[in-house]
A and B are shown apart, each in its own frame.
Chain A
Amino acid sequence: QKEVEQNSGPLSVPEGAIASLNCTYSDRGSQSFFWYRQYSGKSPELIMFIYSNGDKEDGRFTAQLNKASQYVSLLIRDSQPSDSATYLCAVLDNAGNMLTFGGGTRLMVKP
């Protein structure tokens, strides 16, 4: 059973701070990693993906990947109350067929 683990939270940060969300995965052969945001009662929406070791930046979001440690993270700079949501980490299998999702981390950004 391939596993993707996230701390369920809630992670509470003040407005303007950096939020750091973490994810570990069990399948060492995984190649691609995705972060989704899900507002309560809504469907997941893609924030960004990463497949190379290191950092990838997109606006206020930075994804970090360390394949040796089987660890993916998402940093959100200048957090806003509108960033309050559940963040889902997802890992693509070797064959590129299926995404396995973690349980999600609930982020709360307080004004």
Chain B
Amino acid sequence: NAGVTQTPKFQVLKTGQSMTLQCAQDMNHNSMYWYRQDPGMGLRLIYYSASEGTTDKGEVPNGYNVSRLNKREFSLRLESAAPSQTSVYFCASVEGPNYGYTFGSGTRLTVV
């Protein structure tokens, strides 16, 4: 039972480069989320997808785009990376309200 799988685990980008963070879950969950975590700031929601075919902005969406490719997969794209996007990115999924989120192992991204 893999749960939520994120790739890559580590990435270094130069300013202005683009990349896509991949996330897949095998629990048949409807809702999926992308968070970023910075020191002392907890987890902040970037985008979420309440169900297949829908996506919505979270607290900090600027500089990011997402795609809910199918029920299993939810990707996060940085079109032109900036040093302010250096962070740890977590993908999560959930069965429904009042269930706990299951998190992936995270992607540690450094933009230089």
Q: Please report the number of residue pairs spanning A and B whose Cβ atoms sit closer than 8 angstroms.
A: 56
Residue on A with the closest CB to B102?
A: A46
Report which of B33, B97, B104 forms a contact with A96, defined as CB distance below 8 A.
B97
Contact yes or no, B40 A8, CB < 8 A = yes
User: Is B67 part of the contact surface with A, judged by Cβ < 8 Å?
Assistant: no
User: Which of A49, A96, A99, A102 counts the most B-chain CB atoms under 10 A from its CB?
Assistant: A99
Number of residues from A at the complex interface, CB < 8 A = 26
Q: Chain A residues near B98 (CB, 8 Å)?
A: 32, 49, 51, 92, 96
| Docked complex Cα distance between A43 and B33 (Å) | 14
Contact yes or no, B42 A88, CB < 8 A = yes
Known: A97-B31, A97-B48, A97-B56. A102 touches B42 (CB 8 A): yes
Q: Chain B residues near A8 (CB, 8 Å)?
A: 40
Q: Chain B residues near A92 (CB, 8 Å)?
A: 97-98
Within 8 A of B (CB), among A49-106: 49, 51, 88, 90, 92, 96-104
Contact yes or no, B43 A88, CB < 8 A = yes
Q: Scan A6-47; emit 1 where CB is below 8 A from any B CB, else 0.
A: 101000000000000000000000001010100000111110
Known: A92-B97, A97-B56, A98-B48. A43 touches B103 (CB 8 A): yes
| Docked complex Cα distance between A49 and B45 (Å) | 19
Known: A32-B97, A46-B101. A101 touches B42 (CB 8 A): yes
CB distance from B64 to the nearest CB of A (A): 16
Report which of A34, A51, A101 forms a contact with B100, defined as CB distance below 8 A.
A34
14 cross-chain CB contacts under 8 A: A1-B59, A36-B100, A43-B106, A44-B90, A45-B103, A49-B98, A49-B100, A90-B43, A92-B98, A96-B96, A97-B56, A100-B59, A101-B35, A104-B42
